[in-house]
Amino acid sequence: MIRRFVRAVVRNATVTHGDALALRLDPVVLRSANLLPLEEVEVVNHLTGERVTTFVEAGAPGEIRAPRMRAGDAISILSWGLLHDGQTLAHQATIVTLDAHNGVVSIATSQNQ
């Protein structure tokens, strides 16, 4: 059986510009979460609860542009991966936490138990 697991999470991101076609992220955040350009991600707005599925692109330093979001919105970004049952015991998700200026504060892993 193949199951869908969270692969990476970017927490406490602040949108700098809204109404983008795709999610544009600071290249440091992109690398920290091990996200690749054109990879599918889900963006969750903390205030409204709205979820948007889009793809990610590299942006300018400190930049986070998100579709259907407004500047100043707090969001989380989730990346998913498909794993066979035998792979799930060793699975670890990368958790990247940002500060108010979208700088990386911490990078942690969370093991599936």
Task: Provide the residue ranges of all domains of the chain, joining segments of one domain with +.
Answer: 2-111
Task: Give the model's pLDDT for residue 112.
Answer: 52
Q: Model-level pTM? A: 0.91
pLDDT digits (tens, 9 = 90+) for 70-97: 999 999 999 999 988 887 778 899 999 9
CATH class of domain segment(s) 2-111: mainly beta
Is 111 a residue whose pLDDT tops 70?
no
Reference 102, options 66, 61, 70; nearest CA is: 61
3-state secondary structure of 72: coil
Smallest CA-to-CA distance from 16 within 77, 78, 59 is with 59
Residue 63 has pLDDT above 80, yes or no: yes
